[in-house]
Amino acid sequence: MHWFSKVTIRNQLIFLASITFVLLILIFSVFYTQNKEIIKQKNTEYTVNMISQLQQDVASYRNSIDKLLMNIAYNPDMQEFMLETDYGNRYELSKKISSVLNNARLMKEGIVDVIVVGNSGSFYSTFGGNEYVTKYQQLFSSSPFISGLKEVNFGSNIKGTKFFIAGLSTFATYDAAHTGTQIGYCYLVIDAKEITALSFPKIGKEEMKFYLLDRDHQVFTSNDTAAIGGNSDFLTAAEALNGQSAILTLNGVRQIVQTEKLPEIGGTIISAIPEKALYSEIRKLRLNVIYLLLTAIFILSVPFILIMNNLIKPIRQITNFILGIRTKQTVIFKQEIKLEGYFEMTILSSKLNTMFNEIDSLTRNLIDANIQLYRVELEKKKAELAFLQSQINPHFLYNTFETIKGIAMIRGVHEIKDMVQDLSRIFRYSIKGTEEVSLQEELDTISAYLRIQKTRFKDRFDIQMDINPRVLTCKVPKMILQPIVENAIIHGLEPLSKKGHLRIMAEIDPHNKLVISVKDNGNGMPEEMSEALLKNAEGKDPFEQHLGLKNVNNRIQFICGDEYGLSFQSQENLGTEVIFHLPLKENEDV
């Protein structure tokens, strides 16, 4: 916590107050969240119980319908009626089955019609309608099945009303000639509202809405009357939850939604309760706690502000006084600070004034000492200047080279003339004041140096230059190639008994950096020496023992950055390659 001691007292107090405030809010938030979860859990349990009751009602109703269909379909008189082809006999049989079918319709609430259709053309309906259900017969098989909501027209009595159709494909069991043959269908037309007699609950003033959907995703019963017989994006999203609970929006109101399947009719139960209704009571509690919290903060802020001002104001006066001294352009001695009304601060101001007086005295002594040091330094600089003036004038030396070159040319000694000309060029280049030059200038100087060496060594080595024309204008540190080329000739090529080869290459690498290589086929280094330099086990400069390499590497890193510099590869009896890694400084970059 050392860093905390560096924070101002004012900020520490504000931090403490903020932490207290945050903790209060956190405690309230945890309390509110826990109560909210308890209410949500209770509501979920209640909803699950209601849905479970609905599922039981639907399952019970489905079992009754299945039994009723089987009793009708496999009644001997009913099967005889389905097989009868004679109209007169069919009429007599219809009297016998009439009471059976009417009794079946009255046995279960919600059955509005019982229909028997035979493949022989026989047909009977307790409601007196026509064959309005036969268009759905492809839905039914040998097992009882309940369709989704279907539009049923009872002649001129009811138009366009939607009902469930429970049906069964009937097979002959009593007539030996037709045993096992499909002979017709039995249908029950069911009022959807009677499938369940659920009494929908209310919570407060807001109604918990239940939606019962058929296998075709249509609402067939609900306490939201506007949704019956229809579908919506809300119901589609709710049905996709597949037994999960989620928050969905209905008519702009967030609803807590729970879904369960109704496998007996291939449908779904969806319950939805407005979130604001479920949490209305706890919201009142939250509002009261917020008011209480704000009141507590207001009451606590008054003494906090007073204490902070009494503590911070004198400290701030001292701080501003000291900062004022530091920010002034000239030092004004014998300034005093006066703090009244605070015993501790009065003592502090007295001690500070004493300290300022001592600083005044020490500052004057320091200024006098610095003046004396500056005088000594000035005398030293004068001595250095006199020493430099005593050195050989570079222009005199350059003019001397030119004189030697002229004499050699007059006497016809062209070798001396060429060597002095190249030496003069190298000297003039070395005293050039700029730190960076173009690569072209550096290569011209190296060419002059190599001509001098070629004169000395005759034809003992060849020189090859592979230079990308684009890099000739790039800026490089001055005099970085000559020490490396000199090392290659003296240590690599001069001891060779065979003809040597020196190659200088310059190109742009894939990372858009300038790479220059000086490679010879000289003696190279023993493997252990090369590995020692590369591994540099003690963490020292790898060029520490090679002064020329070290100086060039240090200059490159000083001018271009630590990521640039030299690297090398060497093998004994195969030669050495020194690689320069430089930034690509083209003319527009300089």
Q: Which domain range does residue 581 map to?
A: 461-589
* Backbone φ and ψ of 223, nearest 5°: -90, 5
Rounded Cα–Cα distance for residues 442 and 480 (Å): 8
Which range among 181-195, 202-216, 418-432 has the greatest average pLDDT? 181-195
Q: What is the CATH number of the domain that holds 558?
A: 3.30.565.10
Residue 565 located in a structural domain: yes
CA distances from 123 to 96, 106, 184 (A): 14, 20, 10
Rounded Cα–Cα distance for residues 387 and 394 (Å): 15
- Select from 520, 509, 510, 508 the least CA-distant residue to 439: 508
How high is the pLDDT of residue 416? 76
Summarised one tens digit per residue, pLDDT across range 11-59 is 777 787 788 878 878 887 887 778 777 777 777 777 788 888 888 888 8
Band of pLDDT at residue 226, cut at 50, 70 and 90: low
Q: Is the pLDDT of residue 539 over 70?
A: no
- Select from 156, 151, 86 the least CA-distant residue to 127: 156
> Terminus-to-terminus CA distance in the chain, angstroms?
49
Q: Is the pLDDT of residue 387 over 50?
A: no
Asked if 114 and 105 count as a contact pair (C-beta separation under 8 A), the reply is: yes
- Select from 424, 398, 394, 419 the least CA-distant residue to 408: 419
Between 40 and 512, the more confident residue is: 512
Tokens in use for 552?
Answer: 């060039």
Which range among 189-193, 322-326, 551-555 has the greatest average pLDDT? 551-555
* Residues recorded for the chain: 590
How high is the pLDDT of residue 44? 77
β-strands 206-207, 209-213 pairing: unpaired
Average pLDDT over residues 102-126: 82
Summarised one tens digit per residue, pLDDT across range 549-564 is 778 888 888 888 889 9
Q: Is the pLDDT of residue 424 over 70?
A: yes
Quote the mean pLDDT of the chain. 78
CA distances from 207 to 55, 235, 270, 437 (A): 20, 17, 14, 88
How many other CB atoms are found less than 10 A from the CB of residue 330? 4
Band of pLDDT at residue 443, cut at 50, 70 and 90: very high
Q: Exposure of 71 by Cβ count < 10 A (0-12 exposed, 13-18 middle, 19+ buried)?
A: middle
Rounded Cα–Cα distance for residues 88 and 96 (Å): 13
Between 211 and 199, the more confident residue is: 211
Band of pLDDT at residue 326, cut at 50, 70 and 90: low
Between 540 and 360, the more confident residue is: 360
How high is the pLDDT of residue 293? 79
Which range among 29-43, 124-138, 179-193, 546-560 has the greatest average pLDDT? 179-193
Residue environment code for 542-561, b if the CB has 16+ CB neighbours within 10 A, otherwise e: bbeebeebbebbebbeebbe
Which segment of 29-43, 55-69, 163-177, 321-335 scores lowest on mean pLDDT?
321-335
Considering the chain, what percentage of its residues have pLDDT values greater than 70? 79
How high is the pLDDT of residue 391? 44
Residue 582 located in a structural domain: yes
Cα angle vertex 541, ends 537, 547, to 5°?
A: 130
How high is the pLDDT of residue 259? 87
Whose tokens are 């059976």? That residue is: 100
Average pLDDT over residues 101-128: 82
How high is the pLDDT of residue 221? 79
Rounded Cα–Cα distance for residues 379 and 198 (Å): 111
- Angle, nearest 10°, between helix axes 9-73 and 280-327? 160
Rounded Cα–Cα distance for residues 108 and 129 (Å): 20
Residue 525 located in a structural domain: yes
Q: What share of the chain is helix, strand, coil (3-state, %, to 5)?
A: 55, 20, 25
Q: How many domains does the chain have?
A: 1
DSSP, collapsed to helix, strand or coil, labels residue 500 as strand
- Which parts of 111-266 are beta strand (E)? 111-118, 123-125, 145-146, 150-154, 158-171, 182-190, 202-203, 206-207, 209-213, 219-222, 245-250, 253-262
Considering the chain, what percentage of its residues have pLDDT values greater than 90? 9
DSSP, collapsed to helix, strand or coil, labels residue 506 as strand
Asked if 584 and 508 count as a contact pair (C-beta separation under 8 A), the reply is: yes
Question: 473 CB contacts (<8 Å, ≥6 apart)?
Answer: 438, 439, 440, 586, 587
Residues forming beta bridges with residue 249, ordered by sequence position: 254
Residue 36 located in a structural domain: no
Rounded Cα–Cα distance for residues 21 and 30 (Å): 14
Residue 84 located in a structural domain: no
Summarised one tens digit per residue, pLDDT across range 374-386 is 776 776 666 555 4
pTM beyond 0.85 = no
Cα angle vertex 546, ends 564, 394, to 5°?
A: 85
How high is the pLDDT of residue 508? 92
Between 414 and 288, the more confident residue is: 288
Asked if 560 and 478 count as a contact pair (C-beta separation under 8 A), the reply is: no
How many other CB atoms are found less than 10 A from the CB of residue 17? 16
Rounded Cα–Cα distance for residues 132 and 421 (Å): 120
DSSP, collapsed to helix, strand or coil, labels residue 192 as helix
- Select from 269, 209, 272 the least CA-distant residue to 239: 269
Q: Exposure of 68 by Cβ count < 10 A (0-12 exposed, 13-18 middle, 19+ buried)?
A: buried
Residue 17 located in a structural domain: no
How many other CB atoms are found less than 10 A from the CB of residue 28? 15
Tokens in use for 389?
Answer: 């003036």
Asked if 269 and 212 count as a contact pair (C-beta separation under 8 A), the reply is: yes
Q: Is the pLDDT of residue 74 over 60?
A: yes
Rounded Cα–Cα distance for residues 34 and 60 (Å): 39
Tokens in use for 529?
Answer: 């020496």
Whose tokens are 């209770």? That residue is: 42
* Side-chain-facing half-sphere of 183: CA atoms under 13 Å: 25
Q: Exposure of 133 by Cβ count < 10 A (0-12 exposed, 13-18 middle, 19+ buried)?
A: buried
How high is the pLDDT of residue 519? 93
* Backbone φ and ψ of 586, nearest 5°: -80, 175
Rounded Cα–Cα distance for residues 298 and 468 (Å): 77
Residue 136 located in a structural domain: no
How high is the pLDDT of residue 330? 47
How high is the pLDDT of residue 520? 92
Band of pLDDT at residue 205, cut at 50, 70 and 90: very low
User: What letter does residue 131 receive in the DSSP assignment?
Assistant: S
How high is the pLDDT of residue 532? 63
Rounded Cα–Cα distance for residues 356 and 318 (Å): 13
Summarised one tens digit per residue, pLDDT across range 248-307 is 887 778 888 888 888 888 888 888 888 777 777 777 777 887 888 788 888 877 877 777
How high is the pLDDT of residue 15? 80
Q: Is the pLDDT of residue 448 over 70?
A: yes
Average pLDDT over residues 324-334: 55
Average pLDDT over residues 493-503: 88
Residue 521 located in a structural domain: yes
